[in-house]
């Protein structure tokens, strides 16, 4: 009853949508009729006016000084000869109405309604046999006979109607409905009423399926074939039979379909429909390992079909891919709690695919390439489920190099995507690999001689080696693998430096800050490396990586350096903060040369001011004296930058120096004047005055000499 309600609802919605579309069509036609009626009335009114006299026609052109516009001429012509325009609209109205009505009738009455009705009849047959039959006092044999009679009656009526051209579409749908009825009846007679044995049921199903294919071919009617198959697939669902019988019945339908399409390749697309429907029918029943024979049986018959079919069919390639995907999905469902069994299953199927690939290669059939991809995918899955993290990474890395050799030396370019796949998974596997419960990248191993070197070193060599092999055959893949290899190498360096710092007997807070500063140094070097590669190759991924990592690293540098002097073990100038800032300044200068812009030059100058400021604070903090040193460092740095800019005629240095001198003046007059001791105030102001005078003198003398 639920199913009947569903289809009644579906039918009601379809009718509702049809009425909406029909009303829109009628409204559109009505508007057209109204518009044309008004136009006709206007033209008729113009037609009742007296014709213009001939003298007027001669006088008007003589009085017109400017050329008459085309629109005016057209209007005049329309007014003079209205009778030519009156005859067209009635014909147009009649043709439009007839065409619209014909299209609506063809869509709904001739196509949609009969298919919905066919599905309704199929379900009605099922309901008749399964739900209504207990309330009717007739024997099971009589029920089956009546149902067979109804099916054959539909088929006979369809053959009779097919002779008339105007009923062919309807007859084809009725023919499919009849065969669907016979499918359901034959299976219910076996599964529900036990009127005949398994062999008889299989024979009847095979004959019906073959008849369906043969008649559809003779009558050139795919719709009949599809409706008939729908009946075949609905049969086990509505019959109430056991899961095992249903699954074997569906496999049987696929097998008969394969046998027929081997002889009729133009119907090979039907196998795709069969396989997809069977997959969804299988899905609830393959969760337990005891059901493994069902997906393997289904996979096996389509594997046999791949070997025997016409290999030039594009549909066949799609079917092969779907078959592989179905087996993979079912395998994971079956063995989701038994990874070892799943890995062995993928390994066994990979060997089977290898045999078929060799057979296809001997026959010089391009299908072998498809099966090579299946072998590689199964090898990848087998490694994933069978081996531990480190062994998986090593295996993927080795396979990637082997594939790169096949691509570069033996010109097997179709394997390029597989090289990228194995290199990418080796990269990800190295980052996610664990040893003794810790991620290898962050574990505090003894530097260099550790598992991290093994886990990262082999993929790095594999990825960069594969890139080198593909350098001359595929530039895009070469650039991509180069990017991956270099990125993984930098991550390995981060892990090693992390271990070196963690193994020192220093304060924990100091170690954490040092880690952040080391990460910034590596970040700047990485940004430089990727930007250099972009300048050389113009590969956009290098540029994106550089522009992402550079600002992030700069922000990290500024964020983690202010209180660095408070850490135990801090030494002014000769510390990792100085190294980090010098790296940032160098990176900015190199970027400015590559991009031919002054932004990075200004950035380098102000990074120098930050470095001098922080190191001056560190010296004051350690010595407990020299409070004037901070302002003095500002004065000397800003003055030196300005003087050098004037002497070298570099605008960015002059502008930066002027701005920093202004900041220095504010600092001395506001901060130092209030908080610094008199002696230190004297030193700060004296230094500021000297610098300002010197800067002014140098600038003035240079300006006068240039005149």
Give me the average pLDDT of each 10-residue run along the chain (707 residues). Answer: 37 37 41 47 47 44 44 42 45 47 54 64 62 63 83 87 77 80 80 78 75 78 70 63 75 82 78 83 66 85 84 73 90 85 92 92 85 95 93 96 95 94 96 88 83 94 96 92 96 88 68 84 95 93 95 90 76 89 96 92 95 90 77 91 91 91 84 68 76 80 67
E strand intervals along 514-638: none
* pLDDT for residue 223: 67
SS3 439: strand
* pLDDT for residue 236: 65
SS3 251: helix
| Residue 451 contacts residue 445 (beta carbons within 8 Å) | yes
In the DSSP assignment, the letter for residue 435 is E
Residue in 456, 386, 466, 462 with CA at minimum distance from that of residue 428: 456
| Residue 421 contacts residue 465 (beta carbons within 8 Å) | no
* pLDDT for residue 497: 86
**What residue segments make up the domains of the chain, in order of their start?**
2-98
In the DSSP assignment, the letter for residue 564 is G
SS3 221: coil
Does the pTM exceed 0.85? no
In the DSSP assignment, the letter for residue 82 is T
CB-based contacts of 330, cutoff 8 Å, min separation 6: 279, 282, 286, 295
The radius of gyration of the chain's CA atoms, rounded to the nearest angstrom, is 42
Alpha carbon distance 458, 440 (integer Å): 14
434 strand-pairing partners: 439
Alpha carbon distance 41, 57 (integer Å): 26
| Residue 148 contacts residue 185 (beta carbons within 8 Å) | yes
Alpha carbon distance 506, 502 (integer Å): 8
* pLDDT for residue 528: 96
CA of 520: how far to CAs of 488, 550, 587, in Å? Answer: 16, 9, 12
Residue in 301, 292, 332, 334 with CA at minimum distance from that of residue 319: 301
* pLDDT for residue 463: 97
CA of 94: how far to CAs of 36, 99, 157, 404, in Å? Answer: 12, 9, 36, 70
* pLDDT for residue 581: 95
| Residue 628 contacts residue 615 (beta carbons within 8 Å) | no
- If phi > 0 it is left, if psi is from -120 to 50 it is alpha, else beta; for residue 571 that is beta
* pLDDT for residue 23: 39
* pLDDT for residue 594: 93
Alpha carbon distance 573, 618 (integer Å): 9
For the chain, the straight-line distance linking the first and the last C-alpha, in angstroms and rounded, comes to 103
Which DSSP string corresponds to 162-198? TTSGGGHHHHHHHHHHHHHHHHHHHHHHHHTS--S-H
Alpha carbon distance 170, 648 (integer Å): 93
CA of 120: how far to CAs of 34, 82, 143, in Å? Answer: 42, 57, 19
């Amino acid at each position: 009853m639920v199913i009947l309600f569903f289809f009644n609802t579906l039918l009601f919605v379809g009718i509702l949508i049809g009425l909406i579309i029909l009303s829109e069509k009628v409204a559109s036609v009505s508007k057209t009729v109204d518009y044309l009626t008004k136009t006709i009335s206007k033209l008729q009114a113009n037609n009742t006016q007296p014709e213009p006299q001939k003298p007027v026609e001669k006088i008007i052109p003589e009085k017109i000084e400017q050329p008459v516009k085309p629109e005016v001429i057209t209007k005049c012509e329309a007014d003079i000869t209205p009778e030519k325009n009156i005859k067209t609209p009635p014909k147009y109205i009649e043709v439009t109405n007839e065409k619209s009505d014909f299209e609506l009738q063809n869509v709904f009455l001739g196509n949609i309604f009969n298919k919905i009705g066919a599905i309704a009849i199929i379900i009605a047959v099922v309901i008749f046999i399964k739900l209504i039959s207990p309330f009717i006092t007739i024997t099971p044999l009589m029920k089956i006979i009546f149902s067979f009679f109804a099916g054959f009656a539909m088929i006979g009526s369809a053959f009779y109607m097919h002779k008339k051209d105007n009923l062919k579409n309807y007859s084809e749908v009725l023919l499919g409905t009849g065969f669907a009825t016979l499918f359901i009846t034959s299976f219910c007679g076996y599964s529900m009423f036990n009127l005949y044995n398994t062999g008889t049921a299989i024979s009847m199903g095979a004959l019906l399926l073959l008849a369906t294919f043969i008649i559809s071919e003779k009558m050139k009617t795919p719709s009949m074939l599809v409706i008939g198959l729908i009946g075949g697939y609905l049969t086990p669902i509505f019959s109430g039979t056991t899961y095992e019988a249903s699954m074997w019945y569906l496999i049987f339908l696929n097998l008969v379909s394969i046998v027929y399409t081997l002889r009729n390749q133009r119907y090979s697309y039907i196998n795709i429909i069969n396989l997809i429907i069977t997959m969804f029918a299988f899905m609830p029943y393959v969760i337990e390992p005891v059901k493994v024979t069902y997906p393997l049986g289904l996979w096996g018959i389509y594997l046999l079909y791949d070997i025997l079919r016409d290999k030039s069919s594009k549909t066949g390639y799609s079917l092969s891919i779907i078959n592989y995907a179905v087996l993979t999905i079912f395998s994971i469902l079956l063995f989701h709690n038994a990874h070892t069994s799943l890995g062995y299953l993928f390994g066994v199927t990979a060997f089977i695919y290898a045999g078929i690939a060799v057979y296809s290669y001997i026959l010089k059939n391009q299908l072998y390439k498809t099966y090579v991809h299946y072998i590689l995918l199964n090898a990848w899955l087998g490694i994933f489920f069978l081996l531990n993290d480190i062994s998986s990474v090593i295996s993927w890395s080795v396979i990637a190099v082997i594939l790169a050799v096949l691509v570069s030396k033996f010109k097997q370019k179709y394997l390029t995507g597989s090289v990228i796949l194995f290199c990418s998974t080796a990269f990800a596997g190295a980052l996610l690999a664990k040893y003794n419960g810790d991620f290898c990248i962050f574990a505090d191993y003894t530097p260099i001689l550790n598992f991290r070197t093994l886990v990262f070193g082999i993929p790095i060599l594999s990825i960069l080696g594969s890139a080198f092999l593909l350098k001359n055959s595929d530039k895009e893949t070469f650039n991509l693998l180069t990017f991956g290899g270099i990125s993984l190498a930098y991550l390995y360096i981060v892990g090693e430096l992390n271990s070196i710092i963690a193994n020192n007997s220093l304060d924990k807070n100091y170690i954490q800050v040092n880690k952040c500063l080391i990460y910034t140094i590596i970040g700047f070097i990485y940004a430089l490396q990727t930007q250099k590669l972009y300048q050389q190759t113009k590969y956009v991924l290098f540029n994106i990586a550089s522009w992402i990592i550079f600002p992030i690293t700069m922000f990290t540098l500024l964020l983690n350096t202010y209180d660095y002097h408070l850490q135990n073990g801090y030494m002014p100038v000769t510390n990792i903060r100085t190294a980090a800032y010098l790296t940032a300044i160098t990176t900015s200068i190199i970027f400015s040369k590559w991009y031919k812009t002054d932004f990075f030059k200004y950035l380098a100058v102000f990074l120098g001011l930050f470095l001098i400021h922080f190191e001056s604070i560190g010296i004051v903090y350690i010595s407990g004296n020299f409070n004037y040193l901070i302002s003095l460092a500002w004065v000397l740095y800003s003055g030196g930058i300005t003087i050098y800019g004037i002497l070298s005629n570099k605008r960015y240095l002059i502008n930066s120096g002027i701005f920093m001198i202004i900041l220095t003046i504010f600092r001395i007059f506001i901060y130092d004047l209030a908080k610094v001791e008199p002696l230190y105030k004297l030193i700060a102001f004296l230094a500021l005055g000297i610098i300002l005078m010197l800067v002014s003198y140098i600038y003035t003398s240079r300006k006068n000499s240039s005149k």
